[in-house]
């Protein structure tokens, strides 16, 4: 009972007490006496209970009532539930069919049950000589409990549908962790059929009230971006996806949702014909699996396959699988799962000693300190860690950027080459190359990249697809390694960070 009453919140309980207190105090019931005859009343002993100043008076009164008169509140609930089933009273609880609007319907519904609960509580508790806050607190709890079991008014479902449709705005975007069952998830109004045929395009199939998408994983969850547009998208995004397919489906009622997702993350709430463009990547297990579904209203049309490159899609379509091609940056994808993943600068230098590299960063090679104490201090102290290996020096800055500074690059490259890759949590990047004290090329990788006339820089960049924004950190470090002759391995970086020796930079 107390939990039910508390579920209303202190503000609503206080407002209802203010609205009903005087009326309940003057309410004289014609109910038969002896309703509480079977209850046991405490006549002696001691008790205590705790309350706070911000609790409504109804909560305190209800707590005291349940201590002094055990079973009284249960009796009120039982009688309220019984009376609600009586034909004559059930008719009084019915919301008039002429009442429209979701809020108005539920207000009338709740008001009727609250009136019944107040009447019942008054009849029972007046025999126990308790005050109005106790009566109202008991009535609120009883109304909540009985309403949870009561059927919704007949007009409520349609009114709620009208409300949700009126509040639905486009464009809208969300990300859902879709639940995978039997290697598929769905955007659907109801469940996924036990059998779905993906052989036509290898990715997506229309099902009753929605569509099903074939994934690489057998079970679990996978991130799905859902975008609902008023018009067809202006361009087809291909660069970061392995498969892109467009299909039509028919909504029976609307509100198709991603399996396992939230109700508010849904397709348009109206019946009709819709178009969906489904994007997929990572289904072959060589990359993080992810999906994007873009929906808009459009007449039914044949499917369009915009891109078809993964091996799973080829198998499902009955086609010969393409050969496995190892991406040039695959060697450095470990960075994405390392302590450098969020923000770092990786610099590789030849022609200098480790001490000279530290000095070029503006640090004092004679003053080492704890790298992690620098990074974890309240005001964050920038620092660099260095390691010499196979004729080059690696310099690693966790959440730092001095290696991308042109002045530093000129100093680092004065006797040879230096290259660095910087990235941070705000998706900013910079890939830089320097030689002989001159910065040859330094660019943000998310923009349009100019070609380099320097043959060594051109060779370092060759074959790296920077238009595909996946794995930019690994691609940048790959270019650094090509330019300088070597890049750091995962084990070398782990050891460098484990040794916990850094040098404070400006």
Domain boundaries, given as residue ranges, for the chain: 2-160, 168-316, 330-504
Q: What is the largest CA-CA distance in the chain?
A: 104
Closest CA to 145 of 206, 210, 46, 79: 79
Give residue 295's pLDDT band: very low, low, confident or very high (50, 70, 90): very high
Give residue 250's pLDDT band: very low, low, confident or very high (50, 70, 90): very high
**Overall fold of domain 168-316:** Substrate Binding Domain Of DNAk; Chain A, domain 1 (2.60.34)
Tens-place pLDDT, residues 257-278: 999 998 888 999 999 999 999 9
Residue range 173-201: average pLDDT?
94
3-state secondary structure at position 459: helix
How far, in Å, CA of 105 to CA of 144, rounded? 16
Tokens 């007949």 sit on residue? 154
Q: Please report the pLDDT score of residue 43 as a whole number.
A: 65
Q: Please report the pLDDT score of residue 139 as a whole number.
A: 92
Give residue 46's pLDDT band: very low, low, confident or very high (50, 70, 90): low
Residue range 95-107: average pLDDT?
90
Tens-place pLDDT, residues 458-488: 999 999 999 999 999 999 999 999 999 999 9
Residue range 153-167: average pLDDT?
89
Among 21-30, 102-111, 145-154, 406-415, the range of highest mean pLDDT: 406-415
Tens-place pLDDT, residues 304-352: 999 999 999 999 999 999 998 889 999 999 999 999 999 999 999 999 9
3-state secondary structure at position 204: strand
- pTM, full prediction: 0.72
Percent of the chain with pLDDT over 90: 75
Positive or negative, the CA dihedral 83, 86, 88, 92 is positive
> What integer best gives the mean pLDDT of the chain?
92
How far, in Å, CA of 239 to CA of 349, rounded? 32
Ramachandran area for residue 463 (φ above 0: left; ψ -120 to 50: alpha; else beta): left
């Amino acid at each position: 009972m107390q939990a039910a009453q508390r579920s209303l919140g202190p503000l609503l309980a206080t407002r209802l007490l203010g609205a009903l207190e005087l009326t309940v105090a003057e309410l004289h019931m014609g109910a038969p006496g002896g309703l509480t005859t079977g209850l046991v009343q405490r006549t002696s002993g001691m008790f205590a209970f705790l309350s706070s100043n911000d609790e409504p008076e109804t909560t305190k009164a209800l707590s005291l009532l349940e201590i002094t008169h055990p079973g009284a509140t249960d009796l009120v609930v039982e009688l309220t539930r019984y009376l609600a089933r009586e034909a004559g009273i059930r008719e009084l609880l019915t919301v008039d069919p002429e009442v429209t609007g979701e809020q108005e319907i539920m207000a009338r519904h709740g008001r009727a049950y609250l009136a019944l609960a107040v009447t019942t509580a008054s009849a029972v508790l007046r025999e126990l000589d308790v005050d109005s806050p106790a009566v109202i607190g008991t009535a609120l709890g009883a109304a909540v409990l009985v309403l949870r079991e009561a059927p919704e008014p007949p007009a409520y479902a349609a009114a709620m549908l009208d409300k949700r449709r009126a509040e639905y705005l486009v464009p809208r975007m969300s990300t859902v962790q879709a639940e995978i069952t039997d290697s598929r998830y769905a955007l659907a109004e109801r469940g996924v059929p036990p059998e779905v045929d993906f052989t036509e395009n290898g990715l997506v199939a229309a099902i009753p009230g929605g569509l099903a998408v074939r994934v690489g994983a057998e079970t679990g969850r996978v991130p799905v971006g859902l975008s609902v547009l008023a018009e067809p998208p202006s361009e087809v995004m291909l660069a970061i996806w392995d498969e892109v397919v467009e299909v039509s489906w028919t909504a029976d009622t609307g509100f198709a949702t991603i399996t396992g997702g939230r109700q508010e993350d849904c397709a348009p709430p109206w019946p009709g014909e819709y178009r969906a463009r489904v994007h997929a990547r990572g289904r072959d297990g060589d990359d993080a699996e992810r999906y994007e579904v873009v929906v808009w209203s459009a007449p039914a049309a044949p499917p369009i396959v915009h891109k078809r490159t993964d091996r799973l899609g080829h198998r499902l379509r009955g086609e010969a699988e393409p050969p496995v091609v190892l991406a040039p940056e695959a060697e450095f994808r470990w960075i994405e799962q390392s302590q450098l993943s969020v923000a770092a600068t990786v610099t590789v230098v030849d022609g200098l000693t480790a001490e000279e590299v530290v000095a070029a960063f503006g640090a004092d090679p004679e003053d080492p300190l704890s790298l992690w104490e620098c990074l974890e201090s309240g005001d964050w102290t920038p620092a660099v860690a260095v390691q010499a290996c196979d004729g080059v020096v690696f310099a690693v800055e966790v959440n730092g950027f001095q290696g991308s500074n042109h002045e530093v690059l000129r100093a680092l490259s004065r006797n040879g080459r230096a290259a660095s890759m910087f990235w941070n949590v705000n998706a900013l990047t910079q890939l830089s190359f320097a030689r002989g004290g001159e910065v040859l090329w330094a660019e943000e990788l998310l923009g349009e990249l100019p070609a380099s006339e320097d043959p060594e820089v051109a060779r370092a960049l060759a074959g790296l697809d920077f238009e595909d924004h996946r794995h930019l950190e690994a691609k940048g470090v790959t270019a650094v390694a090509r330019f300088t002759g070597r890049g750091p391995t995962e084990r070398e970086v782990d050891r460098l960070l484990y040794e916990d020796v850094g040098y404070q930079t400006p």
